[in-house]
Amino acid sequence: MKRREAGNDLGGGLFMRWDGGGVEGFRAGHVTRLVHKNAPRRSAGVSLVKTRVPNAGRLCIRDGLQGLVTYYCNSTPFPVSPDQRSPLALPLNPTFRPVMSSTPFRVLTFYFSSSTEVSSPHSPTTTTANMSKIGINGFGRIGRLVLRAALQKGAEVVAVNDPFITLDYMVYMFKYDSTHGQHKGEVKAEDGCLVVDGHKITVFNEMKPENIPWSKAGAEYIVESTGVFTTIEKASAHFQGGAKKVIISAPSADAPMFVCGVNMEKYSKDMKVVSNASCTTNCLAPIAKVLHENFEILEGLMTTVHAVTATQKTVDGPSAKDWRGGRGAAQNIIPSSTGAAKAVGKVIPELNGKLTGMAFRVPTPDVSVVDLTVRLGKECSYDDIKAAMKAASEGPLKGVLGYTEDDVVSTDFVGDIRSSIFDAKAGIQLSKTFVKVVSWYDNEFGYSNRVIDLLKHMQTVDA
């Protein structure tokens, strides 16, 4: 085996480089194998390899270790089973970051195929090779932003259903967004389809999910973003139209809930309807995970200071089930209930019954913030907590959890695709076992990106 220096061109348009000692590589046809002999123990976030592929081919990974290993490709978690080729749509400049196990020896095999199509200039992160096609039910705030996220991540949306929005209005609503700005690409109606950056998307206007003919458009994975069909029974109606899997973009009373970076490994092929939990749970769960794994959470209270949503009133109006929620959203700070903290117990079972919380709805259009106050089982300093959060944000939770020591405010996170950004300067500590931590999240776009990440993970496992 010939030792290659960092930065060598392996030929055929495939360029690899690595940092850290003890890496060897060789190429045989379209197969490149890397052996990392001296990987540091428990060194999460070590960058093993970068690639630059001009024509954006397809990449597969085989890991020679026992058990499930998660790699982070451009901040996206990508679980790999041992000795199983798992296709990955290749980004233009990917960095693979594995969670290192205790073994000092790894064998990674990358299978590169240059025969797949070139990425669209408006979909810079991945190609759509070998991915199942997606349908979106409900073209509201989350539905539209899921489509934006899908385009950016190279996921193929082939159908949208909304009984309340005409095609020409869909074009307008997708192109113009008061919070996230105008879509810079092409958006138009053509032959009864919504066309975005050259991608034709079939439009349906069915009221009932069982009447949506998903199979006519080839849609197999359905994002249920109406906020109405949030149970397994209701969401399963999509199967009558040809859907194979349903991802509910809201909490569910009975569907398995998943939070990227926290419990994705628990997904299995037999699950037909799943929930991406709530935006607040997606923010809270990563920081709760880090705190619990490092310092043991005994109990805690969460408050989310939450931006307004479409369910609120512009001025005072009737709201029989939630009188406070009927007050004018632009005029008030409104206390509200949330199940986000309790839902953490569903994705981190060890925390079941240990967390609860509430919300304050405030008059801002986007970006919310979680305030988590916990009693810990292990003594620590606030610097210890900061160090643990920073390490997680650069390692196993990179791309899901962020870390900042800047003097930030909410608008600094509009458009941030991470689930949770830990604010090191905002937290406080009363004693070595009693602490408050603060984390920001774009409750619209960050969450929409996690919907696509969950969907892509499901497709990988289901393949």
What is the reported pLDDT for 130? Answer: 58
Neighbours of 154 (CB within 10 A): 22
| 243 domain residue, yes or no | yes
| 123 domain residue, yes or no | no
| 448 domain residue, yes or no | no
Residues 204, 334: one domain? no
| Domains contained in the chain, number | 3
| 121 domain residue, yes or no | no
Residues 144, 243: one domain? yes
| 21 domain residue, yes or no | yes
Q: Kindly write down the DSSP assignment for every residue of 315-357, as one continuous string.
A: SS---TT-TGGGSBTTT--EEEE--HHHHHHHHSGGGTTTEEE
Q: Judging by beta carbons within 10 Å of its beta carbon (0-12, 13-18, 19+), is residue 256 exposed, middle or buried?
A: middle
In three-state secondary structure terms, 151 is: helix
Residues 205, 305: one domain? no
Residues 434, 287: one domain? yes
H/E run at residue 186: none
CB 73 within 8 A of CB 89: no
CB 462 within 8 A of CB 454: no
Residues 400, 306: one domain? yes
Q: Which of 60, 193, 260, 279 is catalytic?
A: 279
Residues 302, 438: one domain? yes
Q: Both tokens of residue 50? A: 């970068």
Residues 431, 286: one domain? yes
Q: Residue 100 belongs to what domain range? A: 15-113
| 7 domain residue, yes or no | no
Q: What angle do CA 230, 232, 235 make, to 5 degrees?
A: 60
| 90 domain residue, yes or no | yes
Per-residue pLDDT tens listing for the chain (463 residues): 333 333 333 333 333 333 333 333 323 233 333 333 333 333 333 333 333 333 333 333 333 333 334 444 444 444 444 333 333 443 444 444 444 333 333 333 333 333 222 222 222 233 444 578 999 999 999 999 999 999 999 999 999 999 999 999 999 999 999 999 999 999 999 999 999 999 999 999 999 999 999 999 999 999 999 999 999 999 999 999 999 999 999 999 999 999 999 999 999 999 999 999 999 999 999 999 999 999 999 999 999 999 999 999 999 999 999 999 999 999 999 999 999 999 999 999 999 999 999 999 999 999 999 999 999 999 999 999 999 999 999 999 999 999 999 999 999 999 999 999 999 999 999 999 999 999 999 999 999 999 999 999 999 999 8
Q: The pTM is what?
A: 0.73
What is the reported pLDDT for 131? Answer: 72
CATH number of domain containing 412: 3.30.360.10
Residues 100, 143: one domain? no
CB 70 within 8 A of CB 396: yes
Locus of tokens 């009221």 = 207
Residues 242, 286: one domain? no
**β partners of residue 31:** 28, 111
Residues 413, 326: one domain? yes
- From 229, 250, 271, give the residue that closes a domain: 250
Closest listed residue to residue 329, CA positions, set 361, 305, 360: 361
Residues 164, 95: one domain? no
CA distances 162 to 206, 215, 234, 324, Å, are 7, 16, 16, 30
Residues 138, 81: one domain? no
**β partners of residue 73:** 76, 96
| 268 domain residue, yes or no | no
What is the reported pLDDT for 132? Answer: 82
What is the reported pLDDT for 449? Answer: 97
- Is 279 in the active site? yes
CATH number of domain containing 58: 2.60.120.10
Query: Could you say which DSSP state residue 121 is in?
Result: T
Q: How many angstroms separate the CA atoms of 5 and 49, rounded?
A: 12
Mode of pairing for the β-strands spanning 420-423 and 401-404: parallel
